[in-house]
Amino acid sequence: MDISGINNTLLSEYDNCETPALSIAFQNHLYGCFSIMEQHTENGSVLLDLSKDLSGTDQQTDSWTTLGIEYGFLEDRRVVYTGSDRYRTVMTPYLTQLLSQEIIDELESRVFEELTQAGAKYFIAALEMSDLSGDLMAEINAALNMPVHKIQEAIIDLPPKPKTLLKHNKKTRSVRHSTATKGLSKTRKKSHSV
């Protein structure tokens, strides 16, 4: 699988985020994409079906637009993200095929480097630390609560995650309320509620 063109698409998507809230939603969505890819590799099977056509559907409930909420570093209905058609077209094959750990690691490394240079601090912090600092969480909450920057909330009920997706976490997970962070499966240390 050729990953050379993905960086340009991701950087363009990041640059086209017109508000801090939209940037947060994109970074959360992208993080969710990486989380799904890792879970596919760990489980040995593809767990997500993105074959549904978006035309004529309610994008607030579509699995593509809500995957950041379900698998990203923020479990917050305010970070629903649709993105451009190009972003979806580039990312869908990575989410619907079983990839080797080497491909995922190479992709993560390239994306990490490019988005670090671009200043995508929430995505980078979530990859590095697994949990976002209190200062970053305060910034996120402020951006999401600004009336000018508000984005439409998702209309979904977050189902409990299947136990197979959480087999790596041996601690009892607490119920998350509002905005909560969560790390990628291979770096996940703990979860907390805000």
pLDDT at 168 over 70: no
Tens of pLDDT, residue by residue over 40-67, are 888 777 766 665 544 444 555 578 888 8
Greater confidence (93 vs 180) lies with: 93
pLDDT at 74: 92
Q: Residues in the chain, how many? A: 194
Residue 24 CA to residue 172 CA, distance in Å, equals 28
The angle at the Cα of 85, spanning 2 to 38, to the nearest 5 degrees, equals 50
Q: Tell me which residue range forms the domain holding 80.
A: 6-193
Residue among 34, 21, 159 nearest 81 (CA): 21
- List Cα–Cα distances, 64 to 57, 85, 164, 169, in angstroms: 12, 11, 21, 25
Beta bridge partner(s), residue 192? 181
Token pair recorded at residue 60: 């607030």
Residue 63 CA to residue 61 CA, distance in Å, equals 6
Beta bridge partner(s), residue 181? 192
Q: Is 180 helix (H, G, I), strand (E, B) or coil?
A: strand
pLDDT at 22 over 60: yes
pLDDT at 165: 34
Residue 176 falls inside a structural domain: yes
Residue 31 half-sphere exposure toward CB, CA atoms < 13 A: 37
Residue 24 falls inside a structural domain: yes
Residue 1 falls inside a structural domain: no
Residue 143 falls inside a structural domain: yes
Q: How many domains does the chain have?
A: 1
Tens of pLDDT, residue by residue over 67-100, are 898 899 998 888 889 899 999 999 988 888 888 8
Regarding pTM above 0.75, the answer is no
Residue 64 CA to residue 182 CA, distance in Å, equals 19
Residue 98 falls inside a structural domain: yes
Do residues 36 and 48 make contact, with C-beta atoms less than 8 angstroms apart? yes
Residue 68 falls inside a structural domain: yes
